[in-house]
């Protein structure tokens, strides 16, 4: 289908917006009036620019407060409209959006609205222009799509149709079945946006919190099915007012936007993408470091042993049970510090997983990083983390050129001590990538998302959302926060599963590891909230173990010190517990700050 995006959805100058939209693969744009007013380009130049970029101008928007007003006001409105229609002829745009009036002068009089919109349509028709009338959710008298349609229908004018906007319709909780009563050719335009569900004043909600379909809580695909069933064959256009996207890089927002439209079309059966291949485990996590010593000391204290060495690169494989960590010492700039650079996801069909990722605009990384390496399918996540899709035992013979073959076992390696695997990975996203990151992990990797939670950090609020596969063998917590200079805020962490966190914490300490100290006040509060066995709480207090529980059981966890941008967590998760210790995050974050700041 023809895809389009409103310039209001992207940041930057009009030129930047158009370029980003075209590069991301959109076919057309809606030009938002303010973007044109603020542009140094003439309408003719904008038209030429769009043509050069292969973009059609699908809509000029918005015209406001036109209809159901006293006659003298309407005369002035028609004068204004005449100017706009001339402008649209210069632009080469043939559809104009008229929002339902919010003016205090507007009268609650459908007959008057009908008559004035018909007059406007007469004038538009002289310039070959069509008028698409849209009910704003906060319109003074017309604020539901079926009401706007009744007015359009009554006018019976060939140049007057309606514009449906998923935000206005879904935010009002309208009955969607009525959409199919509108003849498809009278739906002149369709604007798509999603939004998070906790409702607020609808105007603030619309102007600041819209997001791309799939990123919020609306059933935009359900709405689209009704619109298509009505016979609509026009563009699918994203109109997203969002404070974050207005500041973010237009190029990546446009790619994210286009991905969301691909997914929406997939959901309604309008395009076929390679299906998701859900990962079945975390094969490895790769740390990139300019200084291996503190990293290997930490891994050793955590019970890992160096099991193998890469045949051609400075990369060691450290292993404990099922947890495998690659330590790559190729980083040269010490100021960059240690960071989590890559994740190996066990995949039943790595090539198919990479094909889906590529179809959804994930940058595909070279299959061989060096001539002697086994070919691996890999893509970059929005935050730059490299995701490797690696074969598992069930991937079939042809795929057994496994990453593990690039590593030579160390002859004197002690047998890896049993008993751990990666419980979850926690990745910190750049502030403007949060919605994009969750949609990416859900749609590209086929993971399910939990609700997002807010975490209070002493220096700002963070938002976190976990994605996981069905059996919880892949769990990734995505977090974003305000970003003061403290690098703890950008740290990723690796949580290791244990069935006895007390024993694991003691062993770590006995091996010289340092656990994050937790304030006494926290344990006084735990005592008030939960009942513990004799001595249990004292043990937690001594070791810095945090505790949470939900209907599925308990979650006990503690943290190591941070090295560069990475730290570890030891986790004892009851089988039914689905959380990640969010309730304890404020205490943990404060303790991490305390550890770095002068007291
Ligand atoms: O918030 C607004 O003013 C506004 C303008 C144009 C639209 O299409 C819309 O949905 C909202
Ligand atoms: Mg709209």
pLDDT per residue as tens digits for the range 530-579: 999 999 999 999 999 999 999 999 999 999 999 999 999 999 999 999 99
Residues 40 and 118 in one domain: yes
ipTM of the complex: 0.93
Q: In this structure, is residue 520 part of a structural domain?
A: yes
| Domain at 440, CATH number | 3.10.180.10
Indicate if ligand 1 lies below 6 Å from the C-beta of 569: no
The last residue of a domain, from among 350, 379, 409 = 409
Residues 65 and 129 in one domain: yes
Q: What is the mean pLDDT of residues 389-397?
A: 70
Indicate if ligand 1 lies below 6 Å from the C-beta of 141: no
Residues 512 and 386 in one domain: no
577 annotated binding-site participant: no
**174 CA to middle of ligand 1, Å?**
18
593 annotated binding-site participant: no
d(CA 169, CA 19): 30
**Could you tell me which residue, 391 or 178, shows the higher pLDDT?**
178
pLDDT of residue 485: 45
168 annotated binding-site participant: no
Residues 317 and 248 in one domain: no
pLDDT exceeds cutoff 80 at 395:
no
**135 CA to middle of ligand 1, Å?**
9
Residues 187 and 51 in one domain: yes
Residues 478 and 579 in one domain: yes
| Domain at 16, CATH number | 3.20.20.150
Report which bound ligand comes closest to the CA of 139: 1
Alpha helix segments (H runs only) across 345-494: 350-359, 434-445
Percent share of the chain, pLDDT over 90:
76
| Atom in ligand 1 nearest the alpha carbon of residue 61 | 6
Indicate if ligand 1 lies below 6 Å from the C-beta of 207: yes
pLDDT exceeds cutoff 60 at 3:
yes
Residues 143 and 42 in one domain: yes
490 annotated binding-site participant: no
Residues 446 and 334 in one domain: no
pLDDT of residue 486: 52
Report which bound ligand comes closest to the CA of 138: 1
pLDDT of residue 491: 85
Q: How confident is the model at residue 130 (pLDDT cuts 50, 70, 90)?
A: very high
Return the best residue to mutate from 135, 239, 242, 243 for the ligand 1 pocket (most ligand atoms within 8 A of CB).
239
pLDDT of residue 134: 98
Q: Could you list the residue range(s) of the whole structural domain that residue 440 is in?
A: 421-593
The last residue of a domain, from among 379, 409, 439 = 409
**486 CA to middle of ligand 2, Å?**
40
User: How many angstroms separate the Cα of 4 from the Cα of each of 31, 251, 302, 362?
Assistant: 10, 15, 52, 20
The mean of the pLDDT values for the chain is 92
Closest residue by Cα to atom 2, ligand 1, is 207
Any idea which of 74-78, 273-277, 519-523 has the lowest mean pLDDT? 519-523
538 annotated binding-site participant: no
Any idea which of 11-15, 56-60, 136-140, 573-577 has the lowest mean pLDDT? 11-15
- Cβ atoms within 10 Å of 370's Cβ, excluding its own: 11
d(CA 7, CA 18): 7
Residues 434 and 566 in one domain: yes
pLDDT of residue 415: 67
Residues 137 and 247 in one domain: yes
Given a contact cutoff of 8 angstroms between Cβ atoms, the answer to whether 573 and 552 are in contact is: no
Total structural domains within the chain: 3
Return the best residue to mutate from 189, 206, 210 for the ligand 1 pocket (most ligand atoms within 8 A of CB).
206
pLDDT of residue 73: 95
**9 CA to middle of ligand 1, Å?**
11
Q: How confident is the model at residue 416 (pLDDT cuts 50, 70, 90)?
A: low
For the chain, the C-alpha Rg in angstroms (whole number) is: 28
Q: In this structure, is residue 276 part of a structural domain?
A: no
Indicate if ligand 1 lies below 6 Å from the C-beta of 134: yes
Closest residue by Cα to atom 9, ligand 1, is 136
Q: In this structure, is residue 416 part of a structural domain?
A: no
**356 CA to middle of ligand 1, Å?**
34
**386 CA to middle of ligand 1, Å?**
38
Burial 300-323 (b: 16+ CB within 10 A, else e): ebbbbbbbbbbeebebbbbbbbbb
Q: In this structure, is residue 272 part of a structural domain?
A: no
pLDDT in tens, 139-187: 999 999 999 999 999 999 999 999 999 999 999 999 999 999 999 999 9
pLDDT of residue 397: 47
Percent share of the chain, pLDDT over 70:
95
Cβ burial, residue 582 (10 Å; 0-12/13-18/19+): middle
Q: In this structure, is residue 273 part of a structural domain?
A: no
Q: What is the mean pLDDT of residues 591-597?
A: 72
Nearest to 11 by CA among 249, 207, 241, 255: 249
Residues 376 and 508 in one domain: no
Bond before 403 cis per omega within 30 degrees:
no
165 annotated binding-site participant: yes
pLDDT in tens, 286-345: 999 999 999 999 999 999 999 999 998 999 999 999 999 999 998 777 777 899 999 999
Q: In this structure, is residue 182 part of a structural domain?
A: yes
**2 CA to middle of ligand 1, Å?**
21
d(CA 556, CA 572): 5
Tell me which DSSP letter residue 439 carries. Answer: H
Q: In this structure, is residue 414 part of a structural domain?
A: no
180 annotated binding-site participant: no
User: How many angstroms separate the Cα of 584 from the Cα of each of 338, 547, 588?
Assistant: 25, 8, 6
Alpha helix segments (H runs only) across 213-285: 220-229, 243-247, 250-267
Q: What is the mean pLDDT of residues 62-89?
A: 95
Q: In this structure, is residue 599 part of a structural domain?
A: no
Residues 116 and 212 in one domain: yes
pLDDT in tens, 467-505: 999 999 999 999 987 654 455 556 899 999 999 999 999
The last residue of a domain, from among 389, 409, 429 = 409
Given a contact cutoff of 8 angstroms between Cβ atoms, the answer to whether 211 and 242 are in contact is: yes
- Cβ atoms within 10 Å of 108's Cβ, excluding its own: 10
Nearest to 570 by CA among 421, 415, 414: 421
């Amino acid at each position: 289908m023809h895809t389009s995006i409103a310039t209001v959805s992207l940041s930057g100058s009009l030129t930047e917006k158009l370029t980003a939209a075209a590069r991301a693969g959109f076919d057309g744009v809606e030009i938002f009036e303010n973007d044109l007013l603020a542009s140094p380009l003439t309408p003719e130049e904008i038209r030429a620019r769009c043509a050069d970029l292969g973009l059609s101008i699908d809509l000029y928007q918005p015209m406001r407060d036109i209809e159901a007003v006293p006659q003298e006001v309407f005369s002035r409105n028609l004068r204004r409209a005449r100017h706009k229609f001339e402008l649209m002829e210069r632009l080469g745009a043939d559809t104009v959006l008229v929002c339902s009036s919010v003016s205090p002068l507007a009268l609650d009089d459908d007959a008057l609205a009908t008559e004035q919109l018909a007059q406007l349509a007469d004038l538009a028709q002289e310039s070959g222009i069509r008028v698409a009338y849209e009910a704003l959710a906060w319109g003074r008298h017309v604020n539901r799509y079926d009401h706007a349609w009744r007015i359009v229908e009554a006018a019976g004018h060939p140049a007057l149709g309606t514009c449906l906007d998923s935000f206005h319709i879904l935010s009002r909780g309208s009955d969607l079945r009525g959409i199919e009563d509108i003849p498809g050719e009278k739906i002149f335009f369709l604007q798509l946006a999603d939004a998070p569900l906790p409702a607020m004043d609808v105007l603030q909600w619309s102007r600041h919190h819209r997001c791309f379909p799939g990123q919020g809580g609306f059933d935009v695909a359900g709405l689209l099915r009704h619109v298509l069933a009505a016979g609509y064959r026009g563009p699918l256009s994203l109109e997203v007012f969002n404070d974050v996207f207005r500041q973010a890089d237009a190029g990546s927002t446009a790619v994210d936007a286009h991905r969301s439209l691909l997914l929406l079309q997939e959901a309604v059966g309008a395009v076929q993408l390679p299906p998701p291949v859900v990962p079945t485990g975390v094969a490895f996590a790769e740390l990139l470091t300019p200084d291996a010593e503190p990293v290997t000391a930490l891994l050793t204290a955590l019970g890992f042993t160096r099991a193998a060495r890469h045949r051609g690169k400075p990369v060691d494989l450290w292993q404990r049970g099922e947890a495998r960590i690659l330590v790559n010492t190729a980083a040269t700039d010490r100021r960059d510090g240690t960071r989590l650079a890559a994740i190996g996801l066990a995949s039943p069909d790595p090539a198919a997983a990479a094909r889906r990722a590529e179809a959804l605009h994930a940058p595909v990384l070279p299959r061989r990083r060096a001539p002697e390496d086994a070919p691996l399918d890999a893509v970059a996540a929005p935050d730059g983390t490299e995701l490797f899709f690696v074969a598992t035992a069930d991937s079939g013979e042809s795929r057994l050129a496994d990453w593990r073959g690039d590593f030579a076992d160390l002859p004197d390696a002690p047998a890896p001590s049993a008993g751990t695997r990666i419980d979850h990975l926690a990745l910190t996203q750049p502030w403007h990538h949060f919605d994009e990151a969750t949609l990416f992990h859900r749609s590209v990797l086929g993971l399910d998302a939990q609700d997002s939670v807010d975490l209070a950090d002493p220096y700002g609020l963070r938002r976190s959302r976990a994605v996981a596969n069905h059996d919880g063998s892949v769990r990734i917590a995505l977090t974003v926060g305000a970003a003061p200079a403290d690098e703890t805020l950008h740290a990723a962490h690796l949580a290791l599963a244990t069935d006895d966190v007390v024993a694991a914490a003691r062993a770590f300490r006995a091996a010289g590891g340092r656990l994050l100290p937790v304030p006494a006040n926290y344990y006084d509060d735990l005592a008030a909230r939960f009942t513990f066995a004799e001595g249990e709480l004292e043990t937690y207090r001594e070791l810095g173990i945090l505790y949470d529980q939900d209907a599925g059981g308990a979650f006990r966890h503690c943290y190591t010190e941070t090295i560069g941008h990475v730290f570890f967590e030891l986790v004892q998760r009851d089988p039914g517990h689905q959380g990640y210790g969010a309730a304890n995050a404020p205490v943990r974050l404060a303790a991490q700050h305390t550890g770095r700041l002068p007291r």
